[in-house]
Structure 1
């Protein structure tokens, strides 16, 4: 059962839980530096700004390790967490393997793995519901004092914890993002859970893109076994960079000052040149080529 929402105390995202309606009106008479400071102040207070910034950080993580490190850093900054960890399940989908963690001693993780993971009510609730949950959500207040997971957190100097699901293809849960607060800090509130859920959704999307690009790159390598990377020059290279950035034909046309049909023709020529069956596979092939031009002969 959800506990009563607590005011969010993290200075960076104070209004995520308290619903503050503070607004700094524009003022054309202010100097540019003052306007920039006021804009930064507004960004730090507005939950939509905070979460949008978090999503932008997630989308710029170009591989799984960087994504994990970004997620852990966001977990600590956005939610005032003392420690955070990014976990992916093993091939059998049962045992979470840590990809990146910060703030917790090795003994804390080892104790959890050996004696608590299989009976962790928070992880059980996350996997059953497919939604983020906190320890205070999963354990009734009357049972908190005697709960094994609560005792584990307290022994290592921690208080409340949150876990959020990381979804893969088909909606299955492939891992979790975990955050814990210091023992003397406030429990996570409903607002924290809602924001945490949105961060986990962005992470899930980024993971799915990572998997699809890796698969497409593998398909591209199979289609061109042992072949040298091809050199792209001039307009083909310009179009290639834009495809790699995710630009549509319309955006490519606008950026390069050409017609949309011409942009489409350039993309189709690239696709045929690399033997890619779709745009996603083409982007994966271009990533291998464009970021490593020295190997292109």
Structure 2
């Protein structure tokens, strides 16, 4: 799986990419999600792009912001660009959604995106309702990897980390945070080769239930430990409060799916997403019968076949590099 295209919509709003000709009429500030892209700007440095944006668009009315490629001629880390956004937080009282970073595979592979500590975003924007991050470990490039500190945030409803290798530190920080309004949590855990060192034990606070009382949609996805995660989810108290559960994009086999079926009932779910899986047709039919027959929407698309090398089988996640 690669990210071939940029977003068309974000936070329920059409995405509008800057820059554009100065004489072109801009949409209303609150009618679109504003996307900043240094490539589209002809490799304009991000500080200049940011100044042009804040000069032309009434920042007090902006509701959603999408950050695309933040580097111009030479690739660089996110931190300087993020510092500009955070420093100007008081100018954006209406901001409710922020995405870092809408970057395609042709622009930069997901696990080579050099991110930083994203906690200042949640601290600077206390009314933020949706926060999504794409990227992960810096792959030993000498820059700070993606990180998060435990926070309390009373407004956040949606939190997503899209990564080919999500650091375990981030998973633990999410589990230690106080997010009473959180309804949707999505973690792409990735693989150890690209920094995804989270363990099933790191997920324990999330699975215990009660930590996020408003949580209704949970995704623990894209993991090379998908069978172990499925086994833990099978008896996890949090499942009872969910409407939607996703264990998709990973290396799920009959072992993990069998553990799910042997665990607590899943028929209260509106949706069970297991797409990109390694299940046998027999096991897939068992899930459709046990869960789907009760009215739950079950996604078992994208069946995968293991690669074979000599006498070994190799299973792969949907997103890694």
Q: When the two structures are superposed, what TM-score results if normalisation uses the length of structure 2?
A: 0.25
Structure number having the greater strand percentage: 2
Q: When the two structures are superposed, what TM-score results if normalisation uses the length of structure 1?
A: 0.27
Structure number having the greater helix percentage: 1
Higher RCO structure, 1 or 2 (CA under 8 Å, sep 6+): 1
Rg larger in 1 or in 2? 1
